[in-house]
Structures are given as structure tokens and as C-alpha cells.
Amino acid sequence: MRFARLAPPDQDRPPFFARLEGAAALVHDAPPWLGGKPTGEAVAWTDVDLACPALPTKIVCVGRNYAAHAKELGNEVPVEPLLFLKPPSSLIGPGQSIELPPESQRVEHEAELGVIIGRRCKAVRPEEALDHVFGYTCLGDITARDLQRKDVQFTRGKGFDTFCPVGPWIETELDPAALRVRGLVNTQVRQDGATSQMIWGVPALVAYISRVMTLEPGDVIATGTPEGVGPLVSGDELVIDIVGAAAGARGIGALRVSVASVAARGNGASAR
């Protein structure tokens, strides 16, 4: 099933969750991972209505989970998952803009598979991990690479507002090990990798992270990025496209966001 969070710009109502069935959105009374149920209302929707579908307490990211990406940055492959956090304030949704902060001269894209937790989990075993996953989405781990290298740790370089685009929706019926993750800038393919190339797959990551911290419903895991990361400049369009790795296999779709300088956008935008 496909779930979205909608914020129609022409309607005076707060954002709401819905299950998408073609051109119809079946409205739910709460986030589906919190037990939201259909209200009986069905509305038409278009891409302009899509908002960030994630409402996490935390965004847990995995660094260097593709060997080729670790190599392109001159890093060794970790012996266990390398974890860091992005703040929920970094979230934006489809059609919004990544803001280039004046503190950085090198902001890069990292296209990733995002995992949405569905059930509270603590110290789960890998074979039980997928029972705690609600679904999957497209995610961008936007990084101020110069600040990441300068600071050594990742908080500032990856934590700016707008540095975590997520969307366009959440798919619940996927094989996370059989997906193709692509990152495109202005229609040029820069990243193209398979989730089967991840050093640690989704079950291993959920199990490992849940031994460190309790994962709450709605929390997001960013699973790492394939090789091909590169710079973003004002005026770019970034597309994160996740499709099935095999012909006819189910994927997620494409998340599209723009890139703008802070000066060009005034005070900026937050996740809708």
C-alpha cells in the first residue's frame, strides 16, 4: 500500500495522512503507523499536494554502508554500522527546496532508501526486524562536505534545516534488498546503486540500531548512499528515484526537490 501526507495549498485544513488509490486519497485520522484508520472521506490529489510523509522523533543515519561510496571519499569500510543523527528540523517534502547555507562552500547530495519504523522496538533480532518496519521511502542525506571534514563529526555538516528531503510517499510492500537507488541532478544520473550492495541490509540495521536506542513508531532510518555523490548549486533540481531492481518489481517512485541559496529564499522553509 502507498501512504502519503497531503497538504493541499488551496484548502484551509492541516496536513493529513491518506492511503493513495490512483487519483483518490482515502483520508486517515492519524499517521498509519500510529493506528490511523480511514475516516470514510476520499479526496482527489495531485503532486502539488504532497508533503513530507515522515514525522519522526529521530532520524538515524548509516554512514559508509556501500563499499564503493566509502572508497570514493577515501574512507575504510567500517567493521560495524557507523551511526549518526539528523534532526527532524532538517526534513522537507516533495517540491520544497534544499537551502545552501552560507557557512559551506560544498554541499553534496546522497540518495538513499529511507525506512519508516512501524512498531516500537528495542534489541530486536535481525529475523524479527522487518516486523517492526512500516514501510519505505526516498531520502536525501544532504551534506555540507567541507564542514563534515572540518568538524570530523557529522552533526553540523548534515544537520542544517532542509538537509533531509523525504518522500514522495511511503510504500509498505517492498523487498528492501531488491531496489535500485538513483540520484539525478538536472536529469543527469550521478548515483545508481542496488540495495543488494549494502554492507548491512535493513534487518541487520534495525537490529543493530535497536540495541543502541529504542526506535519509536515513525522514526526514520537512512540506510546509506551508493557511490557518485556530488555537489549541488543554486538552481539545481535533485531527483531521488527508487525502483525495483528486477523488471516489473515494485519500487517507490521519485522524490523531486529544488536547490536554492538562503539569500534567494529569504527566511527559508520548513517541512510541510
Alpha carbon distance 167, 50 (integer Å): 8
pLDDT at 264: 47
Phi, psi of 128 (to 5 degrees): -105, -10
Sequence-ordered list of residues with C-beta below 8 angstroms from that of 142, at least 6 positions apart, any chain: 90, 98, 107, 108, 109, 110, 158, 160, 162, 163, 164, 165, 232
pTM over 0.75: yes
Tell me the per-residue pLDDT of 187-228, one tens digit each, with 9 for 90 and over.
999 999 999 999 999 999 999 999 999 999 999 999 999 999
pLDDT at 100: 98
59-265: same fold as 2-51?
Answer: no
CA neighbours within 13 Å on the CB side: how many for 219? 24
The residue type of 150 is K
Within the chain, strands assigned E span 2-6, 16-21, 24-28, 38-44, 50-51, 59-63, 82-86, 91-92, 97-100, 107-109, 111-117, 133-140, 143-144, 164-171, 179-185, 188-194, 220-222, 230-231, 237-244, 253-261
**Quick one: 59-265 is in which CATH superfamily?**
Fumarylacetoacetase-like, C-terminal domain (3.90.850.10)
Q: Within 10 A of 9 (CB to CB), how many other CB atoms are there?
A: 7
> Which residues on neighbouring strands pair with residue 17, listed in sequence order?
5
Helices (H), the chain: 67-72, 126-129, 145-151, 155-159, 202-212, 262-265
2-51 has which CATH code?
A: 2.30.30.370
The residue type of 175 is D
pLDDT at 246: 85
Tell me the per-residue pLDDT of 127-151, one tens digit each, with 9 for 90 and over.
999 999 999 999 999 999 999 999 9
pLDDT at 271: 56
For residue 268, name the pLDDT band (cuts at 50, 70, 90). Answer: very low
Tell me the per-residue pLDDT of 55-103, one tens digit each, with 9 for 90 and over.
999 999 999 999 989 788 888 888 999 999 999 999 999 999 999 999 9
Give the domain ranges of the chain.
Answer: 2-51, 59-265
> Which residues on neighbouring strands pair with residue 240, listed in sequence order?
183, 255
Tell me the per-residue pLDDT of 165-185, one tens digit each, with 9 for 90 and over.
999 999 999 999 999 999 999
